Structure 1
Amino acid sequence: MVTTYIPKAEVPTVATTAESKERSATEASRLAVGTRIRSARTERGTSLRELARRLGVSAGHISQVERGMVAPSISLLYSIASELSLSMDTLFGEDRTGPGEYEGIEKSPGEERFITRSAERRKIDLDTGVRWELLTPTPHEVVDFREIVYAPGGGSSKPGEFIRHSGREYGLVLEGVLHVQLEFEDFMLGPGDSIAFDSRVPHRLWNENDKTSARAVWCTYSEPVDS
């Protein structure tokens, strides 16, 4: 007698379902940011090649960012915002579209002007294992107020590469250990530790842990940009 083995269909676990949702959210975030960049570029009459030339990167790379095929680096995002005269929080998108968009969230009248519920946060996923989550309910704020999550091994830029831009930054570490390099000085911040520095100083922030994420609340003050 020959017995035929018929494998059972795999049932998605809670973990795989959560991973799938996270992946979909990341892809949607990447596409939304790319669409906003392309919209701002075309509104200003700047060609893809011209923007790429100003930024010192290939037109193909900018095209991939605009189509949501790749996530931009933090330094590229700042450079794009500067070249197109955009405030950073504009890249997160306009105001939330209204009640009912996020299932299970009860909202009181007028709340959208002042409060951001955790499930409503607008997010940007960057190419070096960093996620920005906007904590303000409306864009165009003078202060960029975000929660930043550094995935295991993630950082603001690759080792040996630094970021500098206008403004001043204030950060508070919530979880994990965050390493900070300001020019030639290295610092290590744990939960409850905070830092403040001029954003024009070359800097890099990263999470050395290869198993757990690091989380921090970050505020960046910069002069208002007309968009």
Structure 2
Amino acid sequence: MQETSGTALLDELIDGVHTGDNLVLQGDQAAPVRLLVDRFVAAAEGRMPLVLVNVAATWTGPVPAGAQVLDWSAVGSGTPSELEGALGPEATLEDALVTLEAADAAVGGGAAFVFDPLSSVPAAWGPDAALELFLSACPRLYRRRSLAVWPVRTDRHRPTFLRRLEEVTQVVVELADDAGRLHVTVRKADGRRPEVTGRSVHAEVIDGDLRPVDAPVTTRQRLGQAIRDQRLVRGLSQTEVARRVGISASALSQVERGVRGPSGDTLVRLWEVLDVPFGPRGGAERGYEVSRRSGRERVRLQEGLEGERVVAATGQAGTWLLEVAPGASGNRAPFAVKAPETVVILRGVLDLQLGGRTETFHEGDAVQVTSAAVTGWANPGPDPTEVSWTVHPR
């Protein structure tokens, strides 16, 4: 399942929020980290169970509709909170973790958790408490397929603490000053393509939102830039390329500027017109075989697991397009073969039992199975998972 952070710029930088993500948003006092947190809360309200962990100061004001507040502030301030279930001034960190686990159990998986800045935790339970809280909660929420946002003040923690957080969490985004401008950088992004880590953009706050001030950063913008570069290399005008592709010059301009993305047919025609290799290209001496969707049969492989073979070979060998129903699982491999297999997650999340351990794969991940045995599979998310599964001929 792919969610949203509530901030389009952040979603674009990290290729969307994935099921189970713990997002560490780090910056100094001047960075608009609180803005990103507030937008995440607004996006989660009414869409999923929401738990707000309050530590820095006594909770004031109404509780968002459908949300639960864990108010731990009395431990640091000494002022009891009036919220139901709030911790008292003498509560220990262990007491706090018990309330967090209870809230997690009550809302179930697929919830959203928002924590106060970790710099507020040492005032309540000592210098090691912030890391202890994170190391306890982060893996648990990941296993439960919940989303969590962790704001972190970089000027309040040692580099060793920040490195430890980065080792454990799934996503780290840093907001830092760069010669007077806000610089947003992806420091870590598990479950995404390798090039996502390291993405950065200058941004500014406009009308309560974080907007980029330089480009390209989005997938559409990078694709548009690539199309424009190829057109200019060949000395072609927008009008000429648009005429050959069969679209208007205005539409091509929007594609090149990243305002809109091209359809699949338009993209293929663009690559043909620009003479850019697209997909397998065989010589005249090589044949090819086309597998049309209309000619394929969808079969039920196991309960909750359906597929269609898009490239056929002997037996069950070939490439299959599989769909795994939400919450479905099986205790045997999709295919009863003793051959190497390649699995690519096209959409969603998939757990595989491999060699006696569970591996979790997200959209864009791939695994080459050689000598290990696939002994089970599961879709832990609330949406269907799409998988390309290739059984290689022996």
Q: What TM-score, normalized by structure 1, do the two folds share?
A: 0.41
Q: What TM-score, normalized by structure 2, do the two folds share?
A: 0.25
Q: Give the structure with the higher percent strand.
A: 2
